[in-house]
Structure 1
Amino acid sequence: MKTTFVSAIVLLAGQAAAHMAITYPPPLRSKDNPFAANDIDYSITSPLSASGSDFPCKGTLNLLGTAEASPVATWQAGQQYNMTISGGANHNGGSCQASLSFDSGKTFTVIHSYIGNCPVAGTSSLKFTLPADTPSAKDALFAWTWFNNVGNREFYMNCAVITITGGGGSASTPFSSRPQIFKANIANGCSTVEGSDVLFPNPGPPEDVTNAGTKTAAPVGTCDVAVGGGSSGGGGSSSPSSSANVVAPNPSTPAASQVSQPSIQSTTRAAGGASSSAQLPGGVFITVPPSSNSAVASPAQPTTLATVSIPASSSEECTEGSSAPTAVPAPTSAVIPPAAPSAAPSAAPSAAPSAAPSAIPSPGAGTGDAADGSMTPGKACTPEGQWNCVSGTYFQRCASGQWSVLMSMAPGTKCQSGTTEVLVWQKKRAHGRRSLRARHHI
């Protein structure tokens, strides 16, 4: 039976795009993880909750011990490996860490710190070496953590289950003396500075630190200095880490990006007409029209797509027995890659990550910017919130007064070409029929 309904996907400002996540080794609940089955986290690129409720690993550790948490890679102590990071919005990079846990996520020991330019836009690969004395384990946790440079103060974390062999060697810095991961922006009294790459209080030994930041800043607040003493395999316990009050430098003239912004409430309306409000999590941005008394213009920010359901309008046809609309995953996005960095990325990992997204048509000159109907990213536009569908397979939006980059529609979906106030798109159902959906802005 065919059911037609309208689903509203609320785009909350700036240039709409996914954030970042590791694709190799594939994390728990990732679409790239062959053991994830149907339990896919479609918001895996989003940051941890600002409350810290899903720390660590975005709340996926309940899968440990199940088939869905089977090891996705086997690494040997003392050897070099790499992780692959992919996504659409890198928030001007930031600082990242690679770490390991041998006690089911109670502690995470840092094996490499990347200060600045982490991650880059698009898909990249970061090298690291497993310390020679890394403990052997069948089900160790590998974690990638990231603190973004621009945007809301956030903490990103993905975790993958791996097997480690050949442990027990000697290292210049004993594994037990390595620092624990840095934690901030999760209601723990510590936060990072907007517009700077966080300088980790204890990044680890020099040979395991990559410095690429051009503007770094120490964290602020009461921050854990991440001393050693984490798990050492076989269920080891952690020693308490010490904390220190860190004060941020006080610039004479604050940058526009450092202006504090009020929290934003999101309201959804149910079919019965009642509305409910909920505090938006970190990673959500909303376009706010400039007011006459605005002192500083807020720059455009990357955004998160949130999905809500609304009842069908009076003009929509619903067949007998249809159920209430259900939320659908937001389309995946891809960003036009920037100019190649001076240093070429490392080779792909031995276990190949998921295939890169298909090429996106490049905007050019002529009527409508390009023959395919795409608009030049960054070009001024009106009205705010207008959508542009290109060839049925890509879309962009007028956000903060300028056109966003082109982004891919989700697999199996097509949008209605042209510029409209509401992005109308269809998703092919399993039995071959298509259901009509639309994107609204508020």
Structure 2
Amino acid sequence: MPSFFQAATLLALAATVVQGHMEMSFPPPLRSKFNSLATTKDNDMTAPLSPSGANYPCKGYLSDLGTPGGQSVVTFTPGQKSNMTIVGGAAHNGGSCQASLSYDKGKTFTVIQSIIGDCPVNGGSSFDFTIPDDAPAGDAVFAWSWSNKVGNAEFYMNCASVTIGGTKNKIRGMPRPRAAVAYSARPAMFVSNVGNGCKTENMVVDYPNPGPDVTRNGQATAPSCDGGAGKGPVGGGGGNGGGNGGGNGGGSGKPSAAPGGGNGGGAAPSAAPSSPAAAPPATTPATKPIAAPTSAAPTKATSSAGSGNGAPSVPGGVFITASPGGSNSAAPTAAPAPSPTTSRVADGTAAPTVPAQPAAPTGSPAPAPAPAPGTGTGGGSAGQLSGKCSDEGAYNCIGGSSFQRCASGSWSVPISMAPGTTCTAGQSSTLSITKRRFRRGGARRADTAWERSE
């Protein structure tokens, strides 16, 4: 018969197990006991993500989005100050946390607040954040992520379905004030210890790119990696790409039964181009992404991902330099003969001048370059892209009204520009933004342009 001391010890251990690690209680996460809308409850919400990354992101619960259990639990207003509440009994001496938003169902996460040190704390506490003034309106996923200070090399993540809506202090007919740092220029979430090649252990992580909104508590250590691919396990795989309109097939996702499932996003020329633009060599990727020419926009930009790498179907969005596995080449368009183009790179230097190819004889169309196997779906200079990409962190402006970003080797879904702003169509290492300004009475003033890069 066990003694009283043994029984008390067992009860204490049981209480520790029940308390577990830490979890987010507000906003209430998907499948959480704190979420009254959840149709399925996770009794182990405090557990870290799998070291293999099999349940990254959000413990694999983003499949609930669009179902009754995945309905929005709270609405945040741009500019609104709010908080997230973290509870539990095993804070591992704290560590570092981030609050992030995703508008593409977990493919990419944008950081809105970083807390470096003392996050979380035993017993629970709340951490403040502010929704960026220019955060796009619509359905979103709010994520709390945690890199623990002591213990095993782990990564914790809880996610809630939320809505970003309304505006703060908006005068009728006037756009809301522009944020000091554009939402599109904010960094991606730091990810480690989920089979993505980035490991952090026994440290307070000093995020390499915490973003403009940071709370620092004590000393921290810079990790030896920049956040990993952010897409769970690193996998290989490739497909025989084939796309029309100048796109390269073989996008991301699980291998498909038939090779070459990718469609190029570029516009197929309706007539034989008299002098197609020069195609860059596929075997020599640039050290930094170079802006794509914007002389002609495609007439239509539709694409679908083909067979490709073995990453999970819902990858994350940490921007790092990926291996040169593919490129998105612009399709030839029926346009006047191009002149040599000098493109701007991220560090402000000029890229080498690219001379145009000689014009093809009249009446005999020049052959389009064959798509390289295993690369992502391509697109025109100002069209929507999808599938794999190699210029991590590069932007693609679509018609001036929305943009995408190359994140974790794949193009994100389009994100609308902030009201009163436009971007310069095409692919670039920076997002060139133009702000439209108006005098009273509707008279237009000169536009103001600036660029954002990381």
How does the TM-score come out when normalised to structure 1?
0.48
Higher share of residues assigned strand: 1
Higher radius of gyration, 1 or 2: 2
How does the TM-score come out when normalised to structure 2?
0.46
- Relative contact order: is structure 1 or structure 2 higher (C-alpha 8 Å, sep ≥ 6)? 1
